[in-house]
Amino acid sequence: MDWSFNNDTPIYSQLVDKIKLSIVSGQLPPGEKLNTVRDLASEAKVNPNTMQRAFQELEREGLVFSQRGNGRFVTEDMEAIMEAKKAMAQEYIRSFIETMEKLGYKGEEIISLIRGGKEEDKQ
Amino acid sequence: MLGKLIKHEFKASGRIMGPFILVCLGLSVLAGLSIRGMEAQMDYGWFTVLFGIVMFLFVAGLIAVCIMALVVCIERFRKNLLGDEGYLMFTLPVSVDEHIFAKLIVSSVWFVVTWLVCMLAFVLMFLCNLDMIEVNWSEISYVMDQVWAKLLDFGLLHIIGYILELLALIFAGCCFTCIQFYSAMAIGYSFSNHKLLLSVVFFFVINVALSILQPLLLAVTGNAGLLDFMANSVQNISGPAAVHLVMLGAFLYALVFFVILYIPTRLLLKHRLNLP
Amino acid sequence: MTATFECKGLSKNFGSTQALEDVNISIAPGRVVGLLGPNGSGKTTLIKLANGLLTPSEGEVLICGDHPGVESKAVVSYLPDKTCMPLWMNALQLMDFFQDFYRDFDRQRAENMLRRLGLDDRQRLRQMSKGTREKVQLIMVMSRKAKLYLLDEPIGGVDPATRDYILDTIIRNYDPEAVVIISTHLISDVEEILDEVLFINQGKIRLQASVDDIRQQYGKSVDEYFREVFKC
């Protein structure tokens, strides 16, 4: 996992996003046991409290669950994973559109640009 | 914790004092053998030179070990408590009193050990030539018996008492010597600049102050009738008891001056510590 | 719950210079706190006061409710900003020393860390490089199960690899019941391992806040925010 951080958002929320991405992309498959908070904190070079907070957030969203004395696991609830995936996709689209609008493109223009890009890719 | 401090203090100072003491004792044996060689050899020549060198080294070694005991006493306090190592020492869960007493006790022991080593060195030198000297053992044992009988006359309890008092007096004397250096350094090192120079200055200031204070104390106590009391007591009590009284007086005298210097040392280390 | 580290109206002057002025801090167990400020801002003075190496001019310092003293020193693990371990000692002798004086010293932990460092136990500190000395010193300090760790400039003047090693050692030995206070002026290097920051300047605490709150509120890193607050 890439553990570099940007400067303008809280570290814990960046951690949440990174782990979420690993889960929805299947890099961390459903039911997979997660490393301990301490190990992950050491790997990411962040404060264990921050890593803990990120996991609490992920637990609240239902993407990971902890089993007493057994550690933490990725959820096996595919629906929850798909939902998170969709939410993330929507978030990326929203910020993408925002950027495009800043560049001066409007709804249909953006779609046709994407189509055009895709056509070019095929050629 | 005092015990642990003392243990580590011995480790730290022993690695310096140990080799010096061993070299000293080694030289005393060499000196003894040289003397032996001198006696056996009719033709002196180059041997005289060697003998001279060995004797010189022997004497120099004895002087060196005495100086080292003093240097170790001063340097352990200066480096270990007032230098960079002070950060480690003064954050140990140990009181300032324990720190000072650990240094005092270990230094005192080294002073006594140094003195014993000097004695032992001469004994060793002598033993190397034992067979050359005609010893009248019966004469010696006769003298020893006489001494023993006299001691018994005095009373064994008195003797044990004297020995204990003497040890206490030696310890108090050593502590008093050390605390003169310690207090001077505690004052000198509480300044931010010229710490070492100021320590030396204050050492002399303290010495001058003491040399004024000491007769003053005697005069005051004399005026207060203490000396008369002592003199009367000495007349009224038995000889052996009078010796106890004198020893006790000397001990108290050393103790008073020790305390006078101990109190500011302790306060400075506790509240005005100024580590580099 | 008693705060692990607390300052109440704490001031310290050296003659006419005021090193600290009316400092009020309270830190609950389980926090990793950055004491951040420019050089000469009073960081080291504050840490020395907490260790009882200095006596306050006014106010008080409390460690788990006690004034600095024999009891507090037994639960505080201190890394000074210079080498303070006797240079004639080797790692084995240092471990003996720590084991003798600190009941909370975990020798096994120290041995493991020294082994990972690949250090010869019998090499004297004098023969080690500056970086290695600092690592050994940190290992001793972090091998205690203390309630309060006071680390004064732990990453000042070391190469990036050593800096990573030091920060990793702090994270790995993190105890959720303990408080770690790291003083430094190299904010961007430590920012990600901190919960809270204390900004100190000219002897006064200017800000106590959580790292994520600063990022959330101002949309910038603590390092950037610090530069803005202390712009010359």
Sequence-distant (≥ 6) Cβ neighbours of residue C196 within 8 angstroms: C27, C31, C32, C33, C34, C208, C209, C210, C211
- Contact of A3 with chain C, judged by CB distance below 8 Å, is answered with no
Q: Looking at beta carbons, which residues of chain A come within 8 Å of C212?
A: 10-13, 50
pLDDT band at residue B43 under the 50/70/90 scheme: low
pLDDT band at residue B44 under the 50/70/90 scheme: low
Mutation site, C168, C192, C210, interface A, largest A CB count within 10 A: C192
Task: Determine, yes or no, domain membership for A3.
Answer: no
Whether A69 and A28 map to the same domain: the answer is yes
**C77-97, pLDDT tens digit by residue?**
999 988 899 999 999 999 999
| pLDDT of B199 over the 90 cut | yes
Q: Which range scores top for mean pLDDT: A108-112, A119-123, B117-121, C130-134?
A: B117-121
Q: Looking at beta carbons, which residues of chain A come within 8 Å of C171?
A: 38, 41-42, 45-48
pLDDT reported for residue C229? 81
Tell me what the pLDDT averaged over chain B comes to.
Answer: 87
Q: Measure in Å the smallest separation between the Cα of B121 and chain C Cα atoms.
A: 30
| pLDDT of B162 over the 80 cut | yes
* Higher-scoring residue by pLDDT: A66, B137: A66
Whether A19 and A55 map to the same domain: the answer is yes
Beta-bridged to residue C7, according to DSSP, are: C25, C61
- The rounded distance, in Å, linking the Cα atoms of C122 and A74 is 47
Beta-bridged to residue C183, according to DSSP, are: C35, C152
Q: Are C203 and C41 in contact (CB under 8 A)?
A: yes
What SS3 state is found at C232?
coil
- The rounded distance, in Å, linking the Cα atoms of C227 and C113 is 36
CA atoms within 13 A on the CB side of B245: 16
Q: Measure in Å the smallest separation between the Cα of B90 and chain C Cα atoms.
A: 7
Sequence-distant (≥ 6) Cβ neighbours of residue B272 within 8 angstroms: B190, C55
Task: Determine, yes or no, domain membership for A99.
Answer: yes
Mean pLDDT, range B201-208, rounded to an integer: 93
pLDDT reported for residue B23? 93
Whether A60 and A87 map to the same domain: the answer is no
Beta strands C196-201; C204-210: pairing state = antiparallel
Task: Determine, yes or no, domain membership for A65.
Answer: yes
| pLDDT of C15 over the 70 cut | yes
Tokens 């003998």 — which residue?
Answer: B51
- Residue of chain C whose alpha carbon sits nearest to that of B15: C88
| pLDDT of B225 over the 80 cut | no
DSSP-derived letter for residue C197 is: E
- The rounded distance, in Å, linking the Cα atoms of C26 and C61 is 10
Q: Looking at beta carbons, which residues of chain A come within 8 Å of C211?
A: 10-11, 50
| pLDDT of B93 over the 80 cut | yes
Mean pLDDT, range C9-25, rounded to an integer: 91
Whether A16 and A64 map to the same domain: the answer is yes
Of B8, B94, B271, the CB nearest to C70: B94
- The rounded distance, in Å, linking the Cα atoms of B59 and B57 is 6
Sequence-distant (≥ 6) Cβ neighbours of residue B220 within 8 angstroms: none
Distance of CA B76 to the CA centre of its chain: 16
pTM: 0.85
Whether A71 and A91 map to the same domain: the answer is no
Task: Determine, yes or no, domain membership for A26.
Answer: yes
Range of lowest pLDDT (B85-89, B224-228, C225-229): B224-228
pLDDT reported for residue C75? 95
DSSP-derived letter for residue C66 is: B
Whether A18 and A72 map to the same domain: the answer is yes
Q: Looking at beta carbons, which residues of chain B come within 8 Å of C85?
A: 85, 88
Domain that holds residue A105: 79-122
Whether A97 and A72 map to the same domain: the answer is no
Whether A33 and A89 map to the same domain: the answer is no
Whether A118 and A64 map to the same domain: the answer is no
Mean pLDDT, range B156-167, rounded to an integer: 85
> What are the tokens at B46?
């180059």
Q: Among residues of chain B, what percentage have pLDDT more than 90? A: 51
pLDDT reported for residue C159? 82
- Residue of chain B whose alpha carbon sits nearest to that of C55: B271
* Higher-scoring residue by pLDDT: B192, B118: B118
Task: Determine, yes or no, domain membership for A2.
Answer: no
Task: Determine, yes or no, domain membership for A5.
Answer: no
CATH code, A20: 1.10.10.10
Q: Are C56 and C45 in contact (CB under 8 A)?
A: no
Instruction: Give me the interface pTM, i.e. the ipTM.
Output: 0.91
| pLDDT of B239 over the 80 cut | no
What SS3 state is found at C98?
helix
Buried b (16+ CB within 10 A) or exposed e, C164-176: ebbbebbbebbbe
Task: Determine, yes or no, domain membership for A1.
Answer: no
Task: Determine, yes or no, domain membership for A66.
Answer: yes
> What are the tokens at C218?
């101002």
pLDDT reported for residue C137? 92
| pLDDT of B134 over the 80 cut | no
pLDDT reported for residue C22? 92
Whether A98 and A111 map to the same domain: the answer is yes
Whether A59 and A100 map to the same domain: the answer is no
pLDDT reported for residue B221? 74
| pLDDT of B268 over the 90 cut | yes
Q: Among residues of chain C, what percentage have pLDDT more than 70? A: 99
- Contact of C82 with chain A, judged by CB distance below 8 Å, is answered with no
Tell me what the pLDDT averaged over chain C comes to.
Answer: 90
Which of 219-248 (B) contact C at CB < 8 A? none
Of the three residues A58, A76, A94, the one that is the final residue of a domain is: A76
Q: What are phi and psi of C179, to 5 degrees?
A: -115, 135
Whether A67 and A106 map to the same domain: the answer is no
- Residue of chain B whose alpha carbon sits nearest to that of C51: B91
Mean pLDDT, range A55-70, rounded to an integer: 87
Number of domains chain A contains? 2
What SS3 state is found at B224?
coil
